Amino acid sequence: MTTYDSNYSTTPYYAVIFTNIKNEDDEGYAQTASRMVELAQLQPGFLGLESAREEVGITVSYWRDLESIKAWKANAEHIEAQKNGNKKWYQSYTTRIAKVEREYSL
């Protein structure tokens, strides 16, 4: 799933890198993940998202500034999804926030 288009952003901006290993029982996960993407796209400062999953899932969301990231983390529906992730879906996860100073592509 990729919704990020670098043509709409200028550096610097921020990347939230979420890596995870899911538990075998992931009932409700796909629906919640889809809803979180829909909801994130409505948030001020959201620039896009890239996601891939094999054994390890990696989702990178892009944001205009740190304030936008903080507001997303504090979103009530997102908080509920985080609680479910901790309780039910993830064996382990790590979230990293990085400032993107430059980007280029072929």
Question: H-type helices in the chain, by residue range?
Answer: 29-41, 66-73, 76-84
pLDDT of residue 10: 85
pTM for this model (two decimals): 0.88
Burial 54-72 (b: 16+ CB within 10 A, else e): eeebebbbbbbeeebbebb
pLDDT in tens, the chain (106 residues): 555 555 556 889 999 999 999 998 889 999 999 999 999 999 999 999 999 988 999 999 999 999 999 999 999 999 999 999 999 999 999 999 999 999 888 8
Q: Which domains does the chain have, with CATH numbers?
A: 6-100 (3.30.70.100)
Render pLDDT for 70-87 as a digit per residue (tens, 0 to 9): 999 999 999 999 999 999
- The predicted pLDDT at position 104 comes to 86
